């Protein structure tokens, strides 16, 4: 009898699972409103299920694709993609805008909808206009099939229609029919044996009912705007250690306020010992006092609990997020342990974390977490060593957080002892072109720029200039990028920009060219392919020439005009001060402006003379500055300056520089803007990265003045004796 009863339960469980379980798999399109009544504008939506946020996702139809802009972030598995102007205030899930229309405006007769992440197809669906077409309903995915929603307007941000029949009525009716049929079949032949069997059956049912315990584990105080998905705990009291039970449970639960029903739903679970995950779903948009009640269908197990729901914006808090790793230097293929640390865990929160290289490329894609369990990352490198930046960000916390610092970053170094340049002193210098950075399947074109990664060892040589350019048959087809490396017996890993000349007169042929990196008495070269011209590059050059010609004519100057450039960029400050002065010499024959970038952000400066003094805030240790010369709306020259200021350091060396921690100095310029330049694309090794002839003269000037000063003093002494 026990086995028969267990078999019946299994059959019932499978049947109910097939009928009422929603579709559950990975990220997928879950609901589509493609033709709402009246004017479609601002009313169409696509619901996505399975992702806590849609960062990196895009959506489209057969006509076009759209990137997504975050409108509202709510923790949970539902996200809604809407058109501009869509009223999402009453929707209890994250909302994203696809622009004026979703795709090329969802067709009302026949269409396909596509969901992408980082350009890769995640899911798609199609419809032919037969359902949910201008009748107020949406298309919902139910048990793998697309059906019309059960209610007008669909169910954005909520579970799709399940067509649940109240389980109490169904099971009671089934039980009554079974008892009646049994009685009819036995008729007058019913014996005490049958009565005993029926009593045993009833006793087993009662034992099953009494073997379950239902508890509410939702806290007494929760928050508006947060999705809670663990409301109850169900325990199988008859479970024995090591056993495998199958107890199928259906729970009906509701939320009331002032004895008025607010929300009602069902969920089902298969219980071995106990379960608390996925036991209901709660999302409330209005603060107040509520009651949560639940009952296990066909049992006497029922519980209720008063719940106080408060608005997190009414609760002031100061929540701090920090970041740590178990080490700072790792061996190749060694696992990096990442620890997100939050100062107050009493409020629900969402933390985003990821890892970048020095060029801003994500080597571990962004992920969200709602706990502080340790995360791991195992980097792969092909070089002797490589620097990565671990980052995190507090996306959401259920309180009015007064802490403005929501992001952190930490530098780590990965080393491969079996690769790269030996650490022993090497009198010979070497240059190696590691990589030409291009988008996948992209071909170089005349008139555009590209990045080149270099590995350089400077040995015991007084030479310091490195030149990088493209050429063919000793004719340069690019501008020459120069670097100045002053420190002997040093290794450098740099990234430089090479600008190809426009091919306006078609004097260059498409085909193979040579990229050269030379200096320190050595060189390296690789073959590159250049095909075609960048659109608009010749027009830009013609406009620039015309502009400079006009300025020359208006100024009446007969001297030949020289190219706009930054001839030098330096500082005389060596010891730490809160504010230091940077000096720049500019050669310009047109209307230009300067952009000064640092870890503080960007400061724009107009050029009123050829010699400029720029006051900036600084920190002890290494400080990286970049200067951009922008003429006629185009970036024409860039110089970078790495300054080491001696003083009490909070962090030493490049660790402080690359961590990019904000200064505590007050009185920073009001013109600083958010960082717009990725400094990791600039060289960061050496006391001065870019250095012109003028700058070297200025740097050596104090040493030249010393003998002159001695001669003057001697002359004065002799004249007094006379």
Domain boundary, last residue among 296, 313, 330 = 313
**What gap in Å lies between CA 40 and CA 61, rounded to an integer?**
16
Q: Which two tokens stand for residue 346?
A: 């009493």
Whether residues 371 and 480 share a domain: the answer is no
- The reply to whether 282 falls in a domain is yes
| 206, two tokens | 């009662």
**8 within a domain of the structure (yes/no):** no
Residue 538 zone, left/alpha/beta (φ > 0; ψ -120 to 50; rest): alpha
Q: Is residue 158 part of a domain?
A: no
In a domain, 16, yes or no: no
Burial label, 79 (beta-carbon count in 10 A; 0-12, 13-18, 19+): buried
SS3 3: helix
Q: Name the token pair of 186.
A: 């036995």
In angstroms, the CA 617 to CA 599 distance is 10
Residue 66 sits in which domain range? 23-148
Cα–Cα separations (whole angstroms), residue 497 to 177, 443, 494, 683: 83, 16, 10, 10
Handedness of CA 530, 532, 534, 538 (dihedral sign): positive
Q: Is 261 left (phi over 0), alpha (psi -120 to 50) or beta?
A: beta
pLDDT of residue 410: 93
- Does 607 share its domain with 532? no
591 and 673 in a single domain? The answer is yes
Residues 197 and 240 in one domain: yes
Q: What is the spatial distance between Cα 162 and Cα 140, in angstroms, rounded to a whole number?
A: 10
**Dist CA 137 CA 160 (whole Å):** 12
Strand order through the sheet with 579-587:
565-571, 579-587, 611-617
17-28 pLDDT, tens digit each: 433 333 334 789
Strands 407-415 and 329-331: parallel
Side by side, the strands of the sheet bearing 336-342 are 321-325, 336-342, 375-377
d(CA 151, CA 154): 6
Among 484, 478, 552, residue whose Cα is nearest residue 508: 478
- In this structure, are 393 and 276 located in the same domain? no
Q: What is the dihedral of CA 148, 153, 155, 156, to 10 degrees?
A: 120
481 inside domain: yes
Task: Choose among 632, 628, 605: nearest CA to 616.
Answer: 605
Asked whether residue 275 falls in the same domain as residue 339, the answer is no
Spatial distance between the Cα atoms of 383 and 220, rounded to a whole number of angstroms: 55
Q: Do 506 and 598 belong together in one domain?
A: no
Residue 242's SS3 state is: coil
Element holding 555 (H helix, E strand): helix 537-555
For residue 425, what are the contacts with CB-CB under 8 A and spacing of at least 6? 460, 489
Calpha distance 379→387 (Å, rounded): 10
User: Phi and psi for 4 in degrees, rounded to 5?
Assistant: -65, -45
The kind and range of the H/E element at 300 are none
Sign of CA dihedral 619, 623, 624, 626: positive
State the Cα–Cα distance between residues 133 and 109, nearest whole angstrom.
Answer: 8
Q: What is the largest CA-CA distance in the chain?
A: 153
Q: Which residues pair with 436 in a beta bridge?
A: 452
- What secondary structure letter does DSSP report for 646? B
Cβ-based neighbours of 475, under 8 Å, separated by 6 or more:
none
- Report H helices in 650-692: 653-659
For the record, the structure tokens of 113 come out as: 């909808």
Strand order through the sheet with 45-49: 69-72, 94-97, 78-82, 45-49, 28-33, 139-142, 145-148
* 229 domain-assigned: yes
Does 476 lie in the same domain as 521? yes
For residue 156, what are its two tokens? 């954005």
Residues 393 and 345 in one domain: yes
The CATH number of whichever domain residue 137 belongs to comes to 2.60.40
d(CA 386, CA 413): 6
Give 719's contacts (C-beta < 8 A, 6+ positions apart): none
Query: Rounded distance, CA 377 to CA 390, Å?
Result: 10
DSSP label of 680: G
415, 450, 470 - which closes a domain: 415
Instruction: State the CATH number of the domain containing residue 350.
Output: 2.60.40.1930
Which of the residues in the chain have pLDDT under 50?
A: 1-25, 163-209, 420-426, 555-561, 649-699
Cα R_g (the chain), whole angstroms: 36
Six-digit token pair at 111? 């269409």
How far is 227 from 94, CA to CA, in rounded Å?
Answer: 11
Any domain includes 638? yes
Three-class HEC string of 355-396: EEECCCCEEEEEEEECCCCCEEECCCCCCCEEEEEEEEEEEE
Alpha carbons 291 and 305: distance in angstroms, whole number: 6
Which CATH number goes with the domain that contains 202? Answer: 2.60.40.10
Distance of CA 298 to the CA centre of its chain: 48
User: If we measure between CA atoms, which residue out of 326, 606, 622, 390 comes closest to residue 614?
Assistant: 606
Whether residue 178 is found in the same domain as residue 297: yes
When divided into structural domains, the chain yields a total of: 6
Q: Name the residue among 275, 265, 270, 271 with its Cα closest to residue 233.
A: 275
Q: What is the pLDDT of residue 355?
A: 94
Same domain for 283 and 175, yes or no, is yes
Within this chain, do residues 674 and 707 fall inside the same structural domain, yes or no? Answer: no
Any domain includes 157: no
Of the candidates 648, 640, 604, 605, which has an alpha carbon nearest to the alpha carbon of residue 623? 640
């Amino acid at each position: 009898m026990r086995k028969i009863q267990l078999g019946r339960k299994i059959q019932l469980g499978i049947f109910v699972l097939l009928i009422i379980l929603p579709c559950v798999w990975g990220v997928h399109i879950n609901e589509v409103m493609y033709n709402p009544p009246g004017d479609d504008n601002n009313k169409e939506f696509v619901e996505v299920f399975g992702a806590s946020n849609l960062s990196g996702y895009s959506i489209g139809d057969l006509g076009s694709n759209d990137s997504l802009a975050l409108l509202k972030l709510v923790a949970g598995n539902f996200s809604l993609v809407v058109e501009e102007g869509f009223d999402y205030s009453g929707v209890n899930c994250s909302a994203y805008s696809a622009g004026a229309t979703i795709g090329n405006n969802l067709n009302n007769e026949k269409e396909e909808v596509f969901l992408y992440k980082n350009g890769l197809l995640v899911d798609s669906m199609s419809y032919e206009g037969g359902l949910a077409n201008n009748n107020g309903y949406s298309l919902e995915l139910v048990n793998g099939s697309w059906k019309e929603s059960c209610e007008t307007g669909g169910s954005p941000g909520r579970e799709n229609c399940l067509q649940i029949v109240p389980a109490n009525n169904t099971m009671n009716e089934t039980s009554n029919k079974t008892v009646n049929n049994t009685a009819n079949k036995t008729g007058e032949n019913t014996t005490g044996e049958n009565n005993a069997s029926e009593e045993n059956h009833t006793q087993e049912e009662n034992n099953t009912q009494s073997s379950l315990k239902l508890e509410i584990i939702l806290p007494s105080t929760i928050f508006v705007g947060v999705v809670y998905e663990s409301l109850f705990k169900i325990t199988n009291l008859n479970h024995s250690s090591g056993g495998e039970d199958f107890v199928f449970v259906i729970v009906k639960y509701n939320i009331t306020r002032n004895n008025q029903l607010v929300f009602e739903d069902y969920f089902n679970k298969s219980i071995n010992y106990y379960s608390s995950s996925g036991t209901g779903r709660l999302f409330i948009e209005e603060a107040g006092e509520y009651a949560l009640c639940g009952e296990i269908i066909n049992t006497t197990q029922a519980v209720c609990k008063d719940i106080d729901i408060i608005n997190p914006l009414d609760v002031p808090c100061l929540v701090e997020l920090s970041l740590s790793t178990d080490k700072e230097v790792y061996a190749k293929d060694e696992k990096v342990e990442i620890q997100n640390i939050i100062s107050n865990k009493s409020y629900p929160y969402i933390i985003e974390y990821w890892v970048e290289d020095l060029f801003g490329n994500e080597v571990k894609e962004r992920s969200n977490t709602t706990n502080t369990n340790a995360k791991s990352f195992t980097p792969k490198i092909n070089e002797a060593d490589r620097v990565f930046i671990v980052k995190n960000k507090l996306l959401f916390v259920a309180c009015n957080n007064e802490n403005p610092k929501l992001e952190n970053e930490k530098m780590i170094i990965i080393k491969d002892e079996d690769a790269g340049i030996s650490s022993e002193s090497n009198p010979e210098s070497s240059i190696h072109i590691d990589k030409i950075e291009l988008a996948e399947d992209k071909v170089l074109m005349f008139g555009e720029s590209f990045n080149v990664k270099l590995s350089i060892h400077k040995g015991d040589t007084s030479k310091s200039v490195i030149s990088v350019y493209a050429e063919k048959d000793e004719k340069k087809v690019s501008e020459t990028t120069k670097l100045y490396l002053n420190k002997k017996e040093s290794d450098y890993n740099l990234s430089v920009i090479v600008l190809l000349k426009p091919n306006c007169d078609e004097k260059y042929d498409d085909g193979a060219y040579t990229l050269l990196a030379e200096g320190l008495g050595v060189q390296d070269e690789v073959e590159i392919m250049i095909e075609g011209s960048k659109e608009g590059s010749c027009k830009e050059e013609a406009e620039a020439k015309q502009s400079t010609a006009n300025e020359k004519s208006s100024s009446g100057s007969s001297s030949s005009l020289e190219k706009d450039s930054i001839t030098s960029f330096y500082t005389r400050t060596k010891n730490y001060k809160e504010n230091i002065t940077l000096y720049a010499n500019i050669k310009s024959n047109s209307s230009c402006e300067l952009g000064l970038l640092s870890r503080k952000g960007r400061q724009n400066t107009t050029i009123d003379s050829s010699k400029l003094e720029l006051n900036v805030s600084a920190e002890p240790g290494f400080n990286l500055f970049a200067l951009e010369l922008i003429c006629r709306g185009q970036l024409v020259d860039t110089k970078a300056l790495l300054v080491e200021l001696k003083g009490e350091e909070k962090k030493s060396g490049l660790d402080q520089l690359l961590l990019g921690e904000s200064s505590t100095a007050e009185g920073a310029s009001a013109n600083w803007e958010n960082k717009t330049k990725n400094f990791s694309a600039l060289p960061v090794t050496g006391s001065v990265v870019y250095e012109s002839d003028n700058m070297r003269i200025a740097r050596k000037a104090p040493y030249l003045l010393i003998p002159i000063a001695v001669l003057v003093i001697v002359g004065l002494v002799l004249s007094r004796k006379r």
